[in-house]
């Protein structure tokens, strides 16, 4: 809505009446963080609990994957029809601006700074406090996830060699949405015998390190994962996801359009069973693509000083 004269004539209200709008901004930033890390569909269970009808409706449109322009047009029509003024007009404008930027994948911290401009100088310190709180929470999440990842890595390294060799030939992904192996027990046993290769402690350590590195792509934001997958071949992706657990698979799955999801299932079904080194090679290709996109500043991997960081989803899920 570019009519600044219209906005200026309606948005004026005492600072004491801006508290509800300020609370709405806090909720929008919470929604933005969840959508960025888990995908917009993760907001659906929260919609019925949202007390503001306009914000609830706008979030539902976001979940339904309306484009930013479609969202903006629908919200502008609502605001014009509401004919509100004062504090309610401020709330409507904050919601419209926040949801529009969420649809464009704006980071929560940036979104908080942007929405603060609607409140004037009086609220500047309040927003600075919220920004500091948001940054502290993100840092704590990263520390907790890093500690958990280190514990998992230590546990992997203490697994007995015999147990490693039993699971070396292939890494199944146990997910109800993945195609199941249709081979009989006898044929599966024969295929494993044909494909199993000698494995030593050094090879097992390398395998686990490669898998752990790929799993840490979970530290990427949802928008970065979407951009990354645009450059990844479907068959490479199918091979790489043979070696991941449910949370990371869900992150990649939610970032794919419906037609690619169907293609992914087909490719994963055709690729079963698979050598572990094939899975590692596919994962390595995707990691290389991710780092090249980061170097071109097309995505943000959140890898401080070139090191992969523990995944956010381990904290969130």
Q: What are 151-187's pLDDT values in tens digits?
A: 877 777 665 454 444 443 443 444 444 444 444 444 4
Residue 192 in any domain: the answer is no
Residue 63 in any domain: the answer is yes
| pLDDT confidence of residue 180 | 42
Specify the higher pLDDT residue, 176 or 35: 35
Residue 26 in any domain: the answer is yes
Q: Are residues 114 and 167 in the same domain?
A: no
Q: Is the pLDDT score of 293 beyond 90? A: no
Q: Are residues 206 and 77 in the same domain?
A: no
Q: Is the pLDDT score of 291 beyond 90? A: no
Q: Are residues 81 and 156 in the same domain?
A: no
Q: Is the pLDDT score of 30 beyond 90? A: yes
Residue 137 in any domain: the answer is no
- Helices 222-230 and 276-295, interaxial angle, to 10°? 110
| pLDDT confidence of residue 140 | 80
Query: In terms of C-beta density within 10 A (0-12 exposed, 13-18 middle, 19 or more buried), how is residue 105 classed?
Result: middle
What range defines the domain where residue 154 resides? 147-179+198-316
Q: Is the pLDDT score of 305 beyond 90? A: no
Specify the higher pLDDT residue, 309 or 249: 249
Residue 160 in any domain: the answer is yes
Average pLDDT over all residues of the chain: 77
| pLDDT confidence of residue 97 | 95
| pLDDT confidence of residue 221 | 76
| pLDDT confidence of residue 80 | 92
pLDDT digits (tens, 9 = 90+) for 49-107: 999 999 999 999 999 988 888 999 999 999 999 999 999 999 999 999 999 999 988 88
Q: Are residues 33 and 79 in the same domain?
A: yes
> Residues, the chain, total?
317
Q: Which range, of 62-66, 157-161, 241-245, 248-252, averages the lowest pLDDT?
A: 157-161
CATH number (domain holding residue 246): 1.10.220.30
Mean pLDDT to the nearest integer, 100-127:
90
Q: Are residues 70 and 174 in the same domain?
A: no
Residue 138 in any domain: the answer is no
Number of domains in the chain: 2
| pLDDT confidence of residue 271 | 59
Radius of gyration of the chain (CA): 24
Mean pLDDT to the nearest integer, 223-240:
87
| pLDDT confidence of residue 178 | 45
């Amino acid at each position: 809505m570019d009519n600044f004269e219209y906005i200026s004539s309606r948005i004026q209200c005492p600072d004491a009446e801006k508290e509800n709008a300020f609370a709405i901004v806090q909720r929008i930033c919470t929604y933005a963080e969840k959508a960025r890390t888990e995908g917009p569909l993760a907001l659906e269970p929260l919609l019925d609990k949202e007390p503001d009808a306009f914000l609830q409706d706008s979030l539902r449109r976001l979940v339904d994957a309306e484009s930013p322009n479609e969202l903006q047009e629908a919200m502008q029509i609502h605001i014009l029809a509401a004919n509100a003024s004062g504090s309610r007009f401020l709330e409507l404008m904050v919601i419209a601006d926040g949801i529009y930027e969420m649809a464009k994948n704006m980071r929560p911290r940036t979104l908080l700074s942007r929405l603060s401009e609607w409140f004037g100088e009086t609220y500047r310190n309040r927003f600075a406090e919220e920004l500091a709180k948001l940054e502290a929470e993100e840092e704590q999440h990263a520390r907790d996830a890093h500690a958990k990842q280190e514990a998992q890595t230590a546990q992997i390294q203490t697994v007995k060699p015999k147990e490693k060799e039993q699971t070396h030939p292939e890494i199944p992904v146990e997910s109800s949405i993945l195609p199941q192996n249709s081979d009989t027990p006898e044929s599966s046993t024969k295929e494993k015998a044909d494909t199993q290769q000698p494995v030593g402690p050094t090879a097992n350590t390398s395998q686990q390190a490669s898998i752990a590195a790929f799993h840490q792509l979970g530290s990427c934001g949802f928008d970065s994962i979407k951009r990354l997958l645009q450059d990844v071949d479907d068959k490479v992706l199918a091979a790489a996801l043979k070696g991941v657990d449910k949370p990371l698979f869900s992150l990649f799955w939610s970032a794919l359009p419906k037609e690619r999801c169907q293609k992914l299932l087909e490719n994963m079904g055709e690729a079963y069973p698979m050598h572990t080194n094939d899975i590692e090679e596919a994962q390595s290709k995707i990691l290389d693509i991710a780092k090249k996109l980061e170097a071109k500043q097309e995505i943000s991997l959140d890898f401080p000083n070139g090191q992969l960081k523990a995944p956010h989803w381990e904290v969130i899920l």
